[in-house]
Structure 1
């Protein structure tokens, strides 16, 4: 039976790298907002003999996420692995001068959409599936108010689900990637020496051992 891996945030960065790393053993359902980037990912996956279904969608569009999960159920009846890498990186800003739109977008993508997706994907995972989230502990750091608060809230949701399902499944894991030269990090550290960071493809290989074991 085909093993299904749902990757939310698969367009670029760690999500795309993990999609490629998982493709040899899974049919990849790749969710992202950028159609061109998903098509390039599909080319790379197929060049390695894998298969992917592309879902160019915004995870904040509730109706689209419902339809996607319904379509997965109708086609395969399950998801074996859900890897959630989608994130909104608001500009760094003092807490007292934060733009309301930036804060609201952070909470919408990083918290509200994640909460809804947990509800939609959990039945597809059943008791034997696995969900993986990625921590980035910036809460409380100067100028990281919107990103730090929303990311911390996302991980709090994941850890609650992890505790609730510890005995019954699904298996919920929270991993912490090494710093990578992604677009998200580039927004926060524009002058950083990116050559010293771990390429997403290398980090995906390391994380894969933690995801699969």
Structure 2
């Protein structure tokens, strides 16, 4: 792999928007580093990328594993010295529950993945993205005030605060940071929040990935 290779790290790449983003970037000439906990989903993605001639590296890793993320970023630094694009799609969606009944494990997992892991990934990847004059991409999902979605809504609101702060801090020194708003999509995560919803009225992750590329890769 030469220094001209465009490298994209996509988290949550085994399904949903992450999977679609990885495929769309593969079509556009990126080497995809696909991170997710699901080995099976990653292998399916690798097959799909291989079918379109897109190179990939699979990273079966829990994003809340600080040392694992640190080793991954060190490996990127040692092999490529930069990261052109970070697309952070990984998310933990806790079960629906009244706010007074949220389970301790669900609360802790939501904080660990949606808040803490996002901040750690920011810190570990930022210098790699800056070295490439690249872009860091995150996604909004405003669920605050929705019944039974307190844990997810709280953690995504905190994540949004992190992202908006990074945008302000990087405005003059880089890297470029984007906070995008996908349309409601027919994903497994949304199906958990809206059981019985007419999925025919929702956007497909593939269509949203293609649409959002106009903002990510202008």
Match of residue 19 from structure 2: 16
**2:5 alignment partner, SS class:** coil
CA drift at 1:17: 0.2
TM-score by length of 1: 0.98
Match of residue 188 from structure 1: 193
CA drift at 1:96: 1.3
TM-score by length of 2: 0.96
Q: Which runs of 5+ in 2 are unaligned?
A: none
1:74 aligns with 2:56: no
CA drift at 1:140: 2.0
Q: How does 1:56-95 map to 2 (within 5 A)?
A: 56-95=60-99
1:45 aligns with 2:49: yes
**1:126 alignment partner, SS class:** helix
Cα RMSD for the two superposed structures: 0.9
1:30 to 25, 30, 34: 34
Q: How does 1:25-174 map to 2 (within 5 A)?
A: 25-126=29-130, 128-174=133-179
1:4 to 7, 14, 35: 7
